[in-house]
Amino acid sequence: MREEIEKALDEIRPFLRSDGGDVELIEVTEDGVVKVKLQGACGGCHMSNVTLKNGIERILKQEVPSVKEVIAVE
């Protein structure tokens, strides 16, 4: 599952990088929780939760159906 998630994140990264941000995959739990770290401009942006839930989580769930939730970690 981790490989599939990395592949999906690679599709998302150009959009994040165009705004000066990025995302790093930290952990994938057995129950489908994906932990990521938002980097660069995304890390301190007041809209980062919207990016996380409406962008990254939505796309990961679409591409990797076993993903249940995406959360940001420090």
Global pTM reads: 0.91
Evaluate whether the domain defined by 2-72 bears CATH number 1.20.200.10: no
31, 70 contact by CB (below 8 A): no
Sign of CA dihedral 29, 56, 13, 8: positive
Which one is predicted more confidently, 61 or 41? 61
What is the per-residue pLDDT across 43-54, written as a single tens digit (0 to 9) for each? 888 889 899 999
Task: Return the closest-CA partner of residue 36 out of 58, 54, 56, 61.
Answer: 56
